[in-house]
Chain A
Amino acid sequence: MKSVLLGAVLWPSFFAAGVATMVFFAVVDPAELAGITWAHMPISRELGYTIGFFMFWASTLGASAFTALLLSPAGKRRT
């Protein structure tokens, strides 16, 4: 049960993060983004995409997990 709930949180958040990454990086070039943020650090485009994706996934995962927590029946939460 717990593992499937984990799947129900992981999978939609993964999907949403994928879409968000696609939309975001279609407009923003990670190389230019690196230039205006941490210009002193060597960030390649591949690394930029990866950081972006995992950042989005962390956000969507947090939101999905929060929702799952709020929807779990109050009486059962401690079991």
Chain B
Amino acid sequence: MKRIAALLVPVEGESLYAAQPKVYPREIDGRFARLRTSAVFALLGVFYAFPWLRWNGHQAVLFDLPARKFYVLGLTFWPQDFFWLAWLLMIAGLSLFFFTALAGRLWCGYACPQTVWTEVFLWIERLCEGRRNQRIKLDASAWTREKLLRKTSKQALWILFSLWTGFTFVGFFTPIAELGRAAAGLSLSGWETFWIVFYGFATYGNAGYLREQVCKYMCPYARFQSAMFDRDTLIVSYDGARGEPRGARRRSVDPRALGLGDCVDCDACVQVCPTGIDIRDGLQIECIACASCIDACDAVMDKMGYARGLVRYTTDNMLGGNPQRVLRPRIVLYGTLLASLVATFAWGVAHRAPLIVEVLRDRNALYRETAEGAIENSYTLKLVNKTDRAQQLALATAPGAAADIVGSPSTTVGAGEVANVPLTLRAHRDAARGMHAVTLVVSGGDDIRATPIAQFFVPEPK
């Protein structure tokens, strides 16, 4: 291996957070712009509509924090199911790996909330302030009545949309119908108001002002995505071999006669870029793969009568004239892991225990001796009924246990409720001293059954 001497030189006066010129992305229509628009409608549609849907008499998706219960469509998740939530996050993370290795920054270009909400804020901006050139002119112009009117209407729409977004967000945690009534009657609680304003403000700031700065400076994914890239990952790229040397020319002229490539140097790809880069400079960390430059360039190529795809989705290998490989070890590994995680999740969630029983020992006394000389231990049983029906539960000890239940306790636990039941175990006369594991059997209807273990203590005989 050849060693290259390198010296780390501190750069004076240059900061990672240098003030950036404002980016005015030009409006664009094309295949990928339409794809993103449908993604915006689908994803934001889900976000804004879901809290309003009902399922079996409750809100279809509700993360009820005060009651410590999550409703997701027909499923109810309990704190004990947190394991599966963590599992779900692992699935989400691995999906990001898988799709990034396969198709690059699909997430950034079409699905990231930053992209999706920025798109909507841009629509509002366009509605109020016009197209790109009009916006640049408006910002540069002096404050006139028209400018004031346009800017005010944009702000009003932005704020309204942000508040609605914050309201919807809180609606995932508080029943949204009640929240709506409270908001209409101006009787929201302090925390509800706080979170609506907080989330609304975050949306307003991120989608209205920070925009591409979030992707460039705040997003961790942009920093580590290159670890998942290889030469077969789908990227948005300019075909330099075909385009260079770039230059303006008339439509009627044969570019080869002028010694020119296909790039007419119209800068359309630069003007539409939401992060303000030039795709012709090669793959850059700022590129969120939104493919706006592809749409822009294709439109120009159509006008010039050239073939489309001077800027296109391609891979490093294809650009270099090498064969493309889709199935490579990385993809197979990520894919297999992802599939097994998803399968385990589906199985695990479907087979969650409907009844959870915890046995808590009496903390005050290790054991108690009755007047007849029998040894007793006391417990509290915590019964969690995770079904949507009330359950009549009977308690017993498993055959061969070292102790018996005193009395014949049985209890009814309401649907989705938690009950604490006191329990006393009495040792058999012949039980040996020391700790015994006593298996309890808690059973109810619908084949519900749990077998928790109680630790039973027998002291030295006196």
Identify which of B10, B65, B86, B218 contacts A45 (C-beta below 8 A). B65
Judge if B17 is at the interface, Cβ distance under 8 Å.
yes
Given contacts A26-B85, A45-B66, contact A1 B79 (CB under 8 A): no
Which chain A residue has the least Cβ–Cβ distance from B191?
Answer: A46
The answer to whether A11 touches B17, judged by C-beta atoms less than 8 angstroms apart, is no
Judge if B364 is at the interface, Cβ distance under 8 Å.
no
B86 to chain A, nearest CB (A): 8
Given contacts A29-B68, A50-B191, A73-B10, contact A8 B217 (CB under 8 A): yes
Which chain B residue has the least Cβ–Cβ distance from A12?
Answer: B220
- Give per-residue flags for A13-31: 1 if the beta carbon is below 8 A from chain B beta carbons, else 0: 0000000001101110100
The answer to whether B85 touches A46, judged by C-beta atoms less than 8 angstroms apart, is no
A49 to chain B, nearest CB (A): 6
Total interface residues on B, using CB and 8 Å? 13
Judge if B347 is at the interface, Cβ distance under 8 Å.
no
A7 to B17, CA, bound (A): 11
* CB within 8 Å of B: which A35-79 residues: 44-46, 49-50, 73
Which chain A residue has the least Cβ–Cβ distance from B194?
Answer: A50
* CB within 8 Å of A: which B47-105 residues: 65-66, 68, 79, 82, 85-86
A23 to B82, CA, bound (A): 8
A13 to chain B, nearest CB (A): 13
Identify which of A4, A25, A45, A49 contacts B17 (C-beta below 8 A). A4
Which secondary structure characterizes the binding site on chain A?
A: helix
The answer to whether A49 touches B65, judged by C-beta atoms less than 8 angstroms apart, is yes
Q: Which residues of B sit under 8 angstroms from A73, Cβ to Cβ?
A: 10
Q: Which residues of B sit under 8 angstroms from A49, Cβ to Cβ?
A: 65
Q: Which residues of B sit under 8 angstroms from A4, Cβ to Cβ?
A: 17, 217
Q: Which residues of A sit under 8 angstroms from B218, Cβ to Cβ?
A: 7-8, 11
Judge if B15 is at the interface, Cβ distance under 8 Å.
yes
Which chain B residue has the least Cβ–Cβ distance from A26?
Answer: B82
The answer to whether A1 touches B10, judged by C-beta atoms less than 8 angstroms apart, is no
A73 to chain B, nearest CB (A): 7
Q: Which residues of B sit under 8 angstroms from A27, Cβ to Cβ?
A: 79, 82
Q: Which residues of B sit under 8 angstroms from A29, Cβ to Cβ?
A: 68, 79
With most chain B CB atoms within 10 A of its CB, the pick from A26, A27, A44, A73 is: A26
- Give per-residue flags for B196-227: 1 if the beta carbon is below 8 A from chain A beta carbons, else 0: 00000000000000000000011000000000
A51 to chain B, nearest CB (A): 12
A76 to chain B, nearest CB (A): 10
Q: Which residues of A sit under 8 angstroms from B79, Cβ to Cβ?
A: 25-27, 29
Which chain B residue has the least Cβ–Cβ distance from A31?
Answer: B68
Which chain B residue has the least Cβ–Cβ distance from A50?
Answer: B191
- Give per-residue flags for B284-314: 1 if the beta carbon is below 8 A from chain A beta carbons, else 0: 0000000000000000000000000000000
The answer to whether A5 touches B17, judged by C-beta atoms less than 8 angstroms apart, is yes
* CB within 8 Å of A: which B351-387 residues: none
Q: Which residues of A sit under 8 angstroms from B65, Cβ to Cβ?
A: 45-46, 49
The answer to whether A1 touches B68, judged by C-beta atoms less than 8 angstroms apart, is no
B388 to chain A, nearest CB (A): 21
Q: Which residues of B sit under 8 angstroms from A8, Cβ to Cβ?
A: 217-218
Which chain A residue has the least Cβ–Cβ distance from B81?
Answer: A26
Which chain B residue has the least Cβ–Cβ distance from A3?
Answer: B17
Identify which of B17, B82, B191 contacts A1 (C-beta below 8 A). B17
Known: A29-B68, A46-B191. 16 other contacts (CB 8 A): A1-B15, A1-B17, A5-B17, A7-B217, A7-B218, A8-B217, A8-B218, A22-B85, A23-B82, A26-B79, A29-B79, A44-B66, A45-B65, A46-B66, A50-B191, A73-B10
